[in-house]
């Protein structure tokens, strides 16, 4: 369930997702298991069985400030509870700043992704998913990534 309200060069959004019928932490088997079509998915999937996730979003274009090529998007997601991890609480803050060049550099874009994913739980964690890989349910991860993209149409 997702709702987004746009006003001018700005937006705010709210999403809610509940996972049922087992964990959905598998990203490499779309042909077998389908895609995780979650409105609450961010850098990490909030995809454990019985996990309820709420995601708040906001963003803007900098066109009102004379920089129409720049935009900023921010998301905050949180959940508390899943069938496979006792007393699970996790949250993620994500910020993305993008700049798309024009003129002679048209096609070039830069992006900075900042994410803070934090987890708290008690008891024995659900350590692996069905593919044998660690799940995001048991980690804390903070990262900054820079992306350079170039699109050339011919």
- Tokens, residue 145: 């990534």
Q: Which of 54, 93, 89 is nearest to 73 (CA)?
A: 93
pLDDT, position 90: 86
pLDDT, position 18: 80
Span 45-74, mean pLDDT? 90
Tell me the per-residue pLDDT of 127-149, one tens digit each, with 9 for 90 and over: 555 555 555 556 788 999 999 99
- Tokens, residue 65: 């400030």
The set of residues, in sequence order, having a beta carbon less than 8 Å from that of 127 and lying 6+ positions away, is 134, 135, 138
pLDDT band at 31; cut points 50, 70, 90: low
Tell me the per-residue pLDDT of 73-116, one tens digit each, with 9 for 90 and over: 999 999 887 777 777 788 899 999 999 999 999 999 999 999 99
């Amino acid at each position: 369930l997702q709702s987004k309200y746009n006003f001018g060069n700005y937006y705010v959004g709210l999403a809610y997702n509940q996972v049922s019928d087992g964990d959905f932490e598998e990203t490499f088997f779309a042909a077998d298991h389908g895609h995780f079509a979650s409105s609450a998915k961010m850098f990490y999937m909030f995809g454990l069985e019985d996990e309820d996730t709420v995601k708040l979003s906001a963003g803007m274009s900098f066109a009102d400030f004379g920089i129409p090529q720049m935009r900023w998007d921010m998301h905050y997601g949180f959940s508390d509870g899943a069938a496979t991890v006792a007393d699970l609480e996790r949250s993620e803050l994500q910020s993305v700043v993008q700049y798309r060049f024009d003129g002679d550099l048209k096609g070039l874009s830069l992006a900075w992704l900042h994410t803070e994913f934090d987890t708290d739980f008690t008891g024995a964690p659900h350590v692996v998913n069905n593919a044998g890989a660690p799940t995001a349910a048991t980690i804390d991860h903070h990262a900054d990534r820079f992306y350079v993209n170039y699109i050339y149409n011919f």
